[in-house]
Amino acid sequence: MKILVINAGSSSLKYQLIDMETEGVIAKGTCERIGIAGGKLTHKAQGKEFVIEKDIPNHTEAISLVLKELVDGEAGVISSMDEIDAVGHRVVASGEAFTKTTLVTDEVMKTMDEIAELAPLHNPAAILGINACRAVMPDKKMALVFDTSFHATMPDYAYLYAIDYDDYKQYKVRRYGAHGTSHKYVAGAAAEYLHKKPEELKIVTCHLGNGSSISAVDGGKCIDTSMGFTPLAGVPMGTRSGDIDVAAIDFLCKKKGMTMDEGLVYLNKKCGMLGVSGVSSDFRDLKAAKEAGNDRARLALDMFTYACKKYVGSYMAAMGGLDCIVFTAGVGENTPTIRSAIAGGLEFFGVKLDESRNNYRNDGTIHEISAEDSRVKVLVIPTNEELVIARETASLL
Ligand code: AMP
């Protein structure tokens, strides 16, 4: 069985064709600058890279171009579209409308339109991608795989905000979380690595990238997560503020003459590591700046690791114990100093890092970075969100 995984953004579209027998990637690529002059498709297959530079006016053209590449004489990996058994779409937000992977129907797409306002930066782009695929492959089965689904198991006291309960009921304002496919993947991979059943483990999963979120996974189920109604909440991120007193935003908006909409753009795009450091949102740049003596880069990194450590500690308390901490995503997989600042100094809680194990070069495999005698295992696990989307799609069929 072959599954095409699609991750559509407003001006980009990423794809992977996955063979479910081997769970290997047959081909993958990205369309960039959709709807903007200077479009580009980068397609990787059979160990080679193929680049097509041409304007891509919309998502339908992007999908058509991708399919053409997949069956192309030179760059192609399949002989016809019939070889694609189904398409799995990544969708950021499901609201309360969908709690699990869902087959695309007209009715489902109507609901998707209704809930698009829950993630105005992400869901409308996913809808463009889904509609484009439906236009180009009308007979193909398609699944929606939501970033929020893994968090649907949170208990009410964890997902609710302390607002008027009637407002929650009417407007569905609550914590939904994000990065669910990544948290699900690494929690499952950790259990497998430790030769345990997911039900036996209390895990804190740290997805640390440009966007970052931390989850408490108790017995295989997510019981809390740091992102909220949108991905703005939780730890400070590349350009997002993370948790902040809302009254401070009102104050700032008035002082800077910003509307609430502008305030939200500010919080999403100009804050976090970028805002604090004044250097960059990229953790590699921050590390270099800190090493060169830039104190605001040091401050940004300290704020990040301190916030992450507090989440790890609070989730340990929420679960009443801890068996494993997992680091994943761009920063979590590649930055020993960040892992050390978050998981170090927790010996009291049974977490003992081995710094020489922690200091390795990422080779795309699972690494155990806790000391031999650490009661809590600390693992670095390369995430694979596309594989979760493909697995979910396949299991729905
Ligand atoms: P992601 O959002 O998961 O793609 O992660 C992006 C972040 O990961 C950026 O801030 C990068 O600086 C960081 N990152 C990615 N690769 C590396 C690397 N090889 N070394 C250090 N940081 C990295």
Residue 161: inside a domain: no
Are 88 and 225 within one domain?
no
Query: What does the pLDDT average to over 113-132?
Result: 92
Give the tens place of pLDDT for each residue, 244-262.
Answer: 999 999 999 999 999 999 9
Residue 121: inside a domain: yes
Token look-up 């407007």 returns 171
Residue 177: inside a domain: no
Residue 297: inside a domain: yes
- Predicted confidence band of residue 53 (pLDDT cuts 50, 70, 90): very high
Cβ(209) – ligand 1 distance below 6 Å: yes
Are 215 and 79 within one domain?
no
Are 136 and 270 within one domain?
no
- Rounded alpha-carbon distances, angstroms, from residue 84 to 28, 31, 57, 67, 295: 14, 19, 25, 10, 52
Residue 85: inside a domain: yes
Task: Among 112, 130, 146, identify where a domain stops.
Answer: 146
- How large a percentage of the chain has pLDDT more than 90? 96
Are 42 and 128 within one domain?
yes
Q: What is the pLDDT of residue 122?
A: 87
Residue 119 pLDDT > 90, yes or no?
no
Are 133 and 212 within one domain?
no
Give the tens place of pLDDT for each residue, 302-338.
Answer: 999 999 999 999 999 999 999 999 999 999 999 999 9
Residue 168: inside a domain: no
- Predicted confidence band of residue 293 (pLDDT cuts 50, 70, 90): very high
Minimum-distance ligand 1 atom for the alpha carbon of 335: 21
Ligand 1 centre and the CA of 235: distance in Å? 16
Cβ(208) – ligand 1 distance below 6 Å: no
Q: What is the pLDDT of residue 372?
A: 98
Nearest 5 degrees, angle CA 272-CA 278-CA 282? Answer: 60
Cβ(334) – ligand 1 distance below 6 Å: yes
Task: Among 122, 146, 170, identify where a domain stops.
Answer: 146
Are 115 and 205 within one domain?
no
Q: What is the pLDDT of residue 341?
A: 98
Alpha-carbon torsion (125, 140, 85, 392), positive or negative:
positive
Are 210 and 87 within one domain?
no
Are 266 and 326 within one domain?
yes
Residue 121 pLDDT > 90, yes or no?
no
Are 24 and 141 within one domain?
yes
Query: What does the pLDDT average to over 86-108?
Result: 96
User: On the CB side of 28, how many CA atoms lie within 13 Å of its CA?
Assistant: 12
Residue 73 pLDDT > 90, yes or no?
no
Cβ(13) – ligand 1 distance below 6 Å: no
Ligand 1 centre and the CA of 101: distance in Å? 28
Residue 4 pLDDT > 90, yes or no?
yes
| CATH (domain of 121) | 3.30.420.40
From 331, 335, 361, 383, the mutation candidate for ligand 1 (largest count of ligand atoms within 8 A of CB) is: 331
- Predicted confidence band of residue 51 (pLDDT cuts 50, 70, 90): very high
Q: In terms of residue numbers, what domain contains 21?
A: 2-146
Number of domains in the chain: 2
Q: Give catalytic residues, as residue numbers.
A: 147
Are 141 and 205 within one domain?
no
Are 111 and 239 within one domain?
no
Ligand 1 centre and the CA of 286: distance in Å? 11
Q: Hey, what's the torsion of the CAs at 352, 358, 363, 368, to 10 degrees?
A: -10
Task: Among 115, 146, 177, identify where a domain stops.
Answer: 146
- Report the C-alpha gap between 52 and 99 in whole angstroms: 38
- Report the C-alpha gap between 394 and 397 in whole angstroms: 5
In three state form, how does the secondary structure of the chain look? CEEEEEEECCCCEEEEEEECCCCEEEEEEEEECECCCCCEEEEEECCEEEEEECCECCHHHHHHHHHHHHHCCCCCCCCCHHHCCEEEEEECCCCCCCCCCEECCHHHHHHHHHHHHHCCCCHHHHHHHHHHHHHHCCCCEEEEEECCHHHHHCCHHHHCCCCCHHHHHHHCCCCCCCCHHHHHHHHHHHHHHCCCCHHHCEEEEEEECCCEEEEEEECCEEEEECCCCCCCCCCCCCCCCCCCCHHHHHHHHHHHCCCHHHHHHHHHHCCHHHHHHCCCCCHHHHHHHHHCCCHHHHHHHHHHHHHHHHHHHHHHHHHCCCCEEEEEHHHHHHCHHHHHHHHCCCHHHCECECHHHHCCCCCCCCEECECCCCCEEEEECCCCHHHHHHHHHHHHC
Q: Does residue 322 contact residue 351 with C-beta atoms inside 8 Å?
A: yes
- Predicted confidence band of residue 359 (pLDDT cuts 50, 70, 90): very high
Residue 222: inside a domain: yes
Cβ(285) – ligand 1 distance below 6 Å: no
What pairing do the DSSP bridges indicate for beta strands 212-218 and 377-380? unpaired
Are 264 and 376 within one domain?
yes
- Predicted confidence band of residue 366 (pLDDT cuts 50, 70, 90): very high
Nearest 5 degrees, angle CA 291-CA 295-CA 299? Answer: 100
Residue 394: inside a domain: no
Q: Does residue 181 contact residue 150 with C-beta atoms inside 8 Å?
A: yes
Q: Hey, what's the torsion of the CAs at 312, 314, 318, 320, to 10 degrees?
A: 70
Q: Is the pTM of this model over 0.85?
A: yes
User: On the CB side of 166, how many CA atoms lie within 13 Å of its CA?
Assistant: 0
